[in-house]
A = this chain, B = another copy of it.
């Protein structure tokens, strides 16, 4: 298989991503993708080996980019609270720029992680846990975060809170990703109740 114009691939992956995100991977037929791209089903196979490899390419490029951002944050040597804030902000930026990929990841990653081809999903999940959980534990040790909460529960709470936003977030809406991140962080860190003076 030869060059096959990277730009065209990206275009097709973008439309495939839209359909995957809207209908779900299993409910999406290659004919629907081809329709959305204005071509016939068989023609997709000039650019890709299989439907699965489209999904693979969408998810892996997304995760590669995400981890480039996360690793930069984690290597910056910030305090626990600043690390959490930076991770959340980067997550919302990622949702802003790759909403489809995030939605697909949210929906499919769980049962795909069994599949050998998508082993990197499980690995990414472990790195995820290490990064977030580690930050939270550092914060508890430093007296920044509350010690009376179950840390693993808090981890899932923070993690899910951020990523489910991809299910309703629309790029170009009223709020920028930074604004949403700021409000989310305010809720997660300070709570939604009015504090007694």
A residues whose Cβ falls under 8 Å from a Cβ of B: 22-24, 26-27, 81, 107, 110-111, 136, 143-146, 149-150, 153-154, 156-158, 160-161, 164-165, 167-168, 175, 180, 183-184, 186-195
CB-based contact B192/A146 at 8 Å: yes
The CA of A2 and the CA of B35, in the complex, are separated in Å by 44
Contacts of A23 in B (CB 8 A): 111
Give 20 A-B pairs besides A149-B187, A160-B160 with Cβ atoms closer than 8 angstroms: A23-B111, A24-B24, A27-B111, A145-B194, A146-B194, A150-B175, A150-B183, A154-B187, A156-B168, A157-B184, A157-B187, A158-B192, A160-B161, A160-B164, A160-B167, A161-B161, A187-B191, A188-B191, A188-B192, A189-B191
CB-based contact B81/A193 at 8 Å: yes
| A/B interface sample: 29 pairs, CB < 8 A | A22-B111, A24-B24, A24-B26, A24-B111, A110-B167, A136-B192, A144-B194, A145-B192, A145-B194, A146-B192, A146-B194, A149-B183, A149-B187, A150-B183, A153-B183, A153-B184, A154-B187, A156-B165, A156-B168, A160-B160, A160-B161, A160-B165, A160-B167, A187-B188, A188-B192, A189-B191, A190-B193, A191-B191, A195-B195
CB-based contact A193/B145 at 8 Å: yes
In chain B, what residue has the closest Cβ to A108? B24
In chain B, what residue has the closest Cβ to A159? B164
Say how far A117's CB is from chain B's closest CB, in angstroms: 16
In chain B, what residue has the closest Cβ to A111? B23
CB-based contact B143/A194 at 8 Å: yes
Contacts of A149 in B (CB 8 A): 183, 186-187, 192
